[in-house]
Amino acid sequence: MQNRYATLAAWVYELDKPVGRSFGDVEFYLERLQGVTGPVLEPAVGNGRLFVPLLEAGLDVKGFDASEEMLAYCRAACESRSLPAALSRQTFEGFSYDERFEAILVPLGSIQLITDYEAALGVLKRFHDHLAPGGRLILDLDAIDGFLDSPHSVRTWKAGEDLLTLTADRIETDYVAQTTMTSLRYEHWRAGKPVDSEIDLFALRWWGVAELELALRTVGFSEVSACGDYQHGRKPQKGDGIITFEARRA
pLDDT tens for each residue of the chain, 250 residues long: 566 889 999 999 999 999 999 999 999 999 999 999 999 999 999 999 999 999 999 999 999 999 999 999 999 999 999 999 999 999 999 999 999 999 999 999 999 999 999 999 999 999 999 999 999 999 999 998 888 888 999 999 999 999 999 999 999 999 999 999 999 999 999 999 999 999 999 999 999 999 999 999 999 999 999 999 999 999 999 999 999 999 999 9
pLDDT at 1: 54
Domains of the chain are 7-143+207-249 (3.40.50.150), 145-205 (2.20.25)
φ/ψ of 134, rounded to 5, equals 85, -5
* Cα–Cα distances in angstroms (integers) from residue 176 to residues 17, 110, 116, 172, in the given order: 32, 21, 12, 12
pLDDT at 55: 98
pTM of the shown model: 0.95
pLDDT at 148: 83
Are 62 and 42 in contact by the 8 Å Cβ rule? The answer is yes
* Rounded Cα–Cα distance for residues 235 and 137 (Å): 18
Are 127 and 221 in contact by the 8 Å Cβ rule? The answer is no
pLDDT at 58: 97
